[in-house]
Amino acid sequence: MTDAEKLEVRDITRIERIGAHSHIRGLGLDDVLEARAVSQGMVGQKEARRAAGIVVQMVREGKIAGRCILLAGEPSTGKTAIAVAMAQALGNETPFTSMSASEIFSLEMSKTEALSQAMRKSIGVRIKEETEIIEGEVVEIQIDRPATGTGQKIGKVTLKTTEMETNYDLGNKIIECFMKEKIQAGDVITIDKASGKVSKLGRSFTRARDYDATGAQTRFVQCPEGELQKRKEVVHTVTLHEIDVINSRTHGFLALFSGDTGEIKQEIRDQINGKVMEWREEGKAEINPGVLFIDEVHMLDMECFSFLNRAMESDMAPVVIMATNRGHTRIRGTNYRSPHGMPLDLLDRMIIIRTVPYSEKEVREILKIRCEEEDCVMNNDALTVLTRIACDTSLRYAIQLITTANLVSRRRKSTEVTVEDVKKCYALFIDEVRSSKILMELQDEYMFNEIESDKAKDKDSIKGKGKDKDEEKPAEPMECGDN
């Protein structure tokens, strides 16, 4: 059992699969928020990055809670990249939730529930924990057992730090703790003053030569410095959603780990809001509004937009950042047309950051960074060809070619990717433009080819129903093209 306790729980460093934005470390700004040309994985988009930097600064200072920011721009101009960079720049003390708007459509949860969970995930509550601990290296430990075997044990322990040394008399209960942890001279331990819990941090370096053979799990630590009795203050940030989940009794805390939380009742949310407010009044907690990022925001429908509109007015609202690549289009589920496919009243509340298409030079930089990220050595000519491909087709397609070309070059046991590899991949994997061209040419040979008859039918229905139905049809394949 003691072994199980020794298992140490480490913070999991977020291991991401090589995603499209895994190379981004931050916004790449200097001290005065001026964007550097190439830095922290970001390339170009100077204005947008600078704007994002100002937003980050304001979020850090807690100045713009309950605001809304829209990242608008053409497909693959770095909207998601900027959002990821903002998350990195905010650090891990500010909650950052990233979601795609289509995530909210689920059978288990209503749309507004999914949205309000996402919002509450982005609001942190800062609380402080304070413990008095005694931390030191055991110089000597002496436990007297009565001859009968049972009964009161008494003991003595000498603890030291680099600065001082002192004796403690031990009572029966704490001796049990010492024995359970198998504390012996040379161990570095901490004793929690309030609970009397003893924990072993490891063995002191100065005692490393005590034994010739030591187990692999022995950890050596420095003798603690400074005072023996220390006060440890830890500030935790928990999100409102986490508190919601542990208090929603039907699910229990396991739901927090499985991620399947279902719907949380509004009463519970109200209670928790009340409790958090009470803590805040008492000076025990601070609200730390974070950031909610909604990608592909044009996928939200009218109901969600009005919910967001309302939710952003509450006093515990995060900063909402949205991204869209749509121009003037229909609001989902309605016949109203609006810029970015969002209702005008919501749009009015937003600060809009625009991203612009990358120049050829910038595309080259991005591809270079991606090559490094994927451990792919590419020679200059190949990179030039790939840049050309990226400009003619799309940046995403070119980035995918890096991975495949790398594999091809490795197959022929080459250390670097050459023009031939890229060409081969370009022939093997077709891009969207070529794909649709082939479809157009050979459509008669595919199954269920009913486009002609569809059109005829559509024309009939136009007369019956809405006006611009056939305008919507060609737009359809775009819908899933940008993922």
Partner 1 sequence: MENGRNTAVVTGMAAKPGVQKVLDLLFASETVADKIMVNKQEIIQLDKRRQQTREAIREINKHNEQKVWTTIGSMLVKLDRKKALEMLEKDKVQIDSEINKLRSEQKILVNEHRDIEHKLPFKGSNLKPMNSKEMSALRANLPLGN
Residues near partner 1, by CB under 8 A: 9, 11, 60-61, 93, 126-130, 163-164, 166-167, 169, 194-195, 226-229, 231, 233-236, 238, 242, 246, 253, 256, 282-286, 288
State the minimum distance, in angstroms, from the CB of residue 39 to partner 1: 20
**DSSP 8-state class, residue 127:** E
> For residues 97 and 125, is the Cβ–Cβ distance under 8 A?
no
State the minimum distance, in angstroms, from the CB of residue 169 to partner 1: 6
Phi, psi of 339 (to 5 degrees): -60, 140
**DSSP 8-state class, residue 97:** E
The CA-to-CA distance between both ends of the chain, in Å, stands at 48
State the minimum distance, in angstroms, from the CB of residue 57 to partner 1: 10
DSSP line for 33-89: SPBPSEETTEES-HHHHHHHHHHHHHHHTT--TT-EEEEE-STTSSHHHHHHHHHHH
Provide the 3-class DSSP secondary structure of residue 195.
coil
Phi-psi region of 334 (alpha: psi -120 to 50; beta: other; left: phi over 0): beta
Provide the 3-class DSSP secondary structure of residue 455.
helix
Phi, psi of 41 (to 5 degrees): 85, -5
Q: Which residue lies nearer to partner 1 by CB, 169 or 444?
A: 169
> For residues 127 and 240, is the Cβ–Cβ distance under 8 A?
no
Q: Which residue lies nearer to partner 1 by CB, 243 or 367?
A: 243
Burial class (CB in 10 A: 0-12, 13-18, 19+), 82: buried
Q: Which residue lies nearer to partner 1 by CB, 94 or 204?
A: 94
State the minimum distance, in angstroms, from the CB of residue 162 to partner 1: 10
Q: Which residue lies nearer to partner 1 by CB, 225 or 471?
A: 225
Q: Which residue lies nearer to partner 1 by CB, 286 or 432?
A: 286
> For residues 75 and 295, is the Cβ–Cβ distance under 8 A?
no
State the minimum distance, in angstroms, from the CB of residue 41 to partner 1: 24
Q: Which residue lies nearer to partner 1 by CB, 197 or 330?
A: 197
State the minimum distance, in angstroms, from the CB of residue 47 to partner 1: 25
State the minimum distance, in angstroms, from the CB of residue 7 to partner 1: 13
